[in-house]
Chain A
């Protein structure tokens, strides 16, 4: 629930009102791993100093976390200083006025579904919703939301950050990006989903919410006509969605 205390989240989110900073956040969020200022500068067509400025502001407000690593292939003397890298922080921020508590409602609904043993119905509903969205992605409102400003900002180079960074299957990745799954290629035959749109709920009700995600992603693939090429399955690991996509093998 958004209480007066949670209004403090507004401080963290306020930095995103700057269009360039928001675009920088999107580039980091779309990265397959930690992202450096050079990557952001290149993706946005801005200078490295400006990119670093915005990234450090995002880190200071708690939206990004910082790590240091050398570029792959460089080690030993002469490898240079480790690069400062950025990734999305684990903390969640939401502000709602007037106060709304949809997560609390979702927890009650999930608990009731579990007690009733109605998981199969939930999976069917999620699958149908996914198929609908896969057929016509613009009709349903994606959970992640679309941001015309960022798209416009990036249009000069590439309208889709994920495609820009992963360079593959725009249809499937665009569809999954629109639903907030933050897909990333892991080799030519596998896509991992770096974000669970229902993360907190999935921690509380893992089998049910992960099963809902699986049904939803299967539905999305089916609706978009991509189920002949990609198969979704349960493939849990910490720090990402428990569903992964594998390219179907043809003999």
Chain B
């Protein structure tokens, strides 16, 4: 049992509302990819939102959706994100989402096993990554930080 798990938050702005015909293939993929995540090795938890199709949105920008999830390790998350059918959806992301520009779209951080992150915390981590670049508190796959050492009282 490891002391820390990996949290991830991902965000992107949609080119059109979920109801738009141009978004059909993405919308059809949401349930499939969520189900795939749920049964993927190393999956711990994900936030099920109250937006359309269970997506997570923030009141400030209804076109922006978020995913928030927890995994046992970066390798588990990488296997799901990049070595499964999920990759095809990522490949086609420009069909449905605006580019991020210089802003980060994905942030990773370590959290004590058993804890559950909030959307607000994820946004704070994303802002931290944008402001300071990768740090142990907010990082990316391209610049991974190792799991923190467990400090005993």
- A residues near B, CB below 8 A? 114-120, 204, 206-208, 210-211, 214, 234, 236-238, 242
Contact A236 B142 (CB under 8 A): no
Total number of residue pairs linking A and B with CB closer than 8 Å: 48
Which 5 A-B residue pairings sit nearest by Cβ, starting from the closest? A117-B99, A207-B90, A206-B82, A211-B91, A234-B88
Sampled A-B contacts (28; CB under 8 Å): A114-B99, A115-B99, A115-B100, A115-B102, A116-B101, A117-B100, A118-B99, A119-B93, A119-B94, A120-B94, A204-B141, A204-B142, A206-B90, A207-B82, A207-B90, A207-B91, A207-B93, A210-B87, A210-B91, A211-B91, A234-B85, A234-B87, A234-B91, A236-B82, A236-B83, A236-B87, A238-B79, A242-B87
Q: Does B34 sit within 8 A of A, measured CB to CB?
A: no
Contact B91 A214 (CB under 8 A): yes
Query: Which residues from B are CB-within-8-Å of A118?
Result: 99
Query: Number of B interface residues, CB 8 Å?
Result: 19
> Smallest Cβ distance from A202 to chain B, in angstroms?
9
- B residues near A, CB below 8 A? 79, 81-85, 87-88, 90-91, 93-94, 98-102, 141-142
Residue from A117, A206, A242 within 8 A of B98 (CB atoms): A117
Q: How far is the CA of A196 from the CA of B142 in the complex (A)?
A: 18
> Smallest Cβ distance from B153 to chain A, in angstroms?
39
Query: Which residues from B are CB-within-8-Å of A204?
Result: 141-142
Residue from B83, B90, B93 within 8 A of A237 (CB atoms): B83
Known pairs A210-B91, A237-B83. 20 more at Cβ < 8 A? A114-B100, A115-B99, A115-B101, A115-B102, A116-B101, A117-B94, A119-B94, A204-B142, A206-B82, A206-B90, A207-B91, A207-B93, A208-B91, A210-B82, A211-B91, A234-B85, A234-B88, A234-B91, A236-B82, A236-B83
